[in-house]
Copies of this chain bind each other. A is one copy, B any other.
Amino acid sequence: MASARYDVLGIGNAIVDVIARAEENFLLRHDMRKGTMALIDEARAQAIYEAMGPAVETSGGSAANTTVGLASLGARAAFVGKIKDDPLGRAFAHDIGAAGVAFATAPAPSGPSTGRCYVLVTPDGERTMNTYLGAAQDLRPSDIDAETIAASAIVYLEGYLWDPKNAKDAFLKAAKIAHESGRKVALSLSDAFCVDRWRDEFLQLMRSRTVDLIFANEAELHSLYQTSDFDAAVRALRGDIDIAVVTRSEKGCLVISPDGNEAVPAFPIERVVDTTGAGDLFAAGFLSGLARGADDRTCGRLGALAAAEVIQHLGARPQTSLKDLARENGLAD
């Protein structure tokens, strides 16, 4: 197997976040389920934008955030996702490139505009997301470059990709090439309702060993196995996949691997400002550890550290060098 050019290549929906603070009753009034991601059409996107407060725009997208976190941690990262050649798309491309992530997916010259996610942050720091996929839904198998996939040690896929039909095929093509090249494939389950939409297919991906590693939070895990019994869900997970990481917010995470189960605590923080990107950055930290052969505990602590940084400010991308932060905490040389 040739040595890898990238530690991690992420594939996901290319999305620009439009973030505003909102009161709890705003969510109720607009029929939103707190803490989850809903897919919306252009008309609803327009209605939500008109009703929501003053916003900040920042590049987002789950797997994209993860690759930016990886670059901030000093790992070599690449991203594949579809933008349109429009102002939002150009901002997305600028931001991910300026963060040090290789991004070469050809933008769509026409069709729907670059995808947007309207993120409502309630006073408790929880975020509720409404995504208009736009150009992101046009990611297709021809956007997957076999040579680049084969040159990436880990291919990381977001579960949200299962929503747009063509992206699913791109996902499967990438996973196949990765395994044929002796690489690993990781999947984030993304969202409890996303799991609800695609439960059987996600389980099939795990059981068929199409993916080697999954990331899930507690809600996603409970949704996957349709049980409220955490221990039962963890036992089921052990049988379905080699490595799984279950994130548990302030309770830290549980790493399930052939070496056993390892519980890793969260990093203490002063105040949760905005949880957007917590899972994405956790995955970045964990994968950065995995890429350099760290043990489960170190990988988990790197994940917790990166997640702690991103929830202490607005927006889903790090505002400081995660590598410096890891160093200060004895987690990097």
Contacts and interface: CB of A to CB of B under 8 A. Distances in A.
Q: How many copies does the complex hold?
A: 2
A101 B244 CA distance: 49
A68 B54 contact: yes
B54 A95 contact: yes
B56 A58 contact: yes
Interface size class of A (residues with CB under 8 A): 20 to 34
Given A87-B87, A314-B319, A319-B314, A98 B53 contact: yes
A276 interface: no
B57 A58 contact: yes
Where chain A touches its partner, the secondary structure class is mixed
A317 interface: yes
A53 B20 CA distance: 23
A49 interface: yes
Contacts of A91: 55, 57
A315 B56 CA distance: 9
A301 interface: no
A41 to B, nearest CB: 19
B54 A99 contact: yes
Interface in A40-85: 49-50, 52-59, 68
A88 interface: yes
A81 to B, nearest CB: 16
A57 B314 CA distance: 12
Given A87-B87, A87-B88, A88-B87, A54 B21 contact: no
A94 interface: yes
- With most chain B CB atoms within 10 A of its CB, the pick from A49, A52, A58, A68 is A58
Given A54-B94, A314-B314, 5 more contacts: A52-B98, A53-B99, A57-B57, A57-B58, A87-B87
15 contacts: A20-B98, A50-B94, A53-B99, A54-B59, A54-B68, A54-B96, A54-B98, A55-B94, A56-B56, A56-B57, A56-B58, A57-B58, A86-B87, A314-B314, A314-B319
Interface of A: 20-21, 49-50, 52-59, 68, 86-88, 91, 94-96, 98-99, 313-315, 317, 319
What are the nearest 3 A-B pairs in CB distance?
A57-B57, A54-B95, A56-B58
